[in-house]
Amino acid sequence: MMTVGRSGELTRNGESDSKHPQMLHHGEKEANKPVTRKAIALMATTSFLMLVIGLIITGIFASL
């Protein structure tokens, strides 16, 4: 069974991430920061724009 460790890495059977130091990324400290409101807003606007562009493209192809 694969579980997600404290640092966000996949570990087997809940073993600690310290046993596999080579699996840790260099930017691990940045990845441990909580997600900011700015990042959430950016993801929301990006997904909304992608949805709108997809609907526009679908409408163009449907009208052909």
Of 24, 23, 4, 22, the C-alpha closest to 14 is 4
Q: Which domain holds residue 33?
A: 2-63
pLDDT > 70 fraction of the chain, expressed in percent and rounded: 50
Q: Residue 7 in 3-state DSSP?
A: coil
Task: Examine the pLDDT at 51 and tell me if it is beyond 80.
Answer: yes
Which tops the pLDDT comparison, 34 or 45?
45
- What are the two backbone dihedrals, phi and then psi, of residue 4, each rounded to the nearest 5 degrees? -90, 125
Beta strands in the chain (DSSP E): 2-4, 10-12
pLDDT of residue 47: 98
Task: Work out the mean pLDDT of the chain and round it to a whole number.
Answer: 76
Chain mean position to CA 36: 13
Is residue 61 within 8 Å of 37, Cβ to Cβ?
A: no
Q: Count up the domains in the chain and report the number.
A: 1
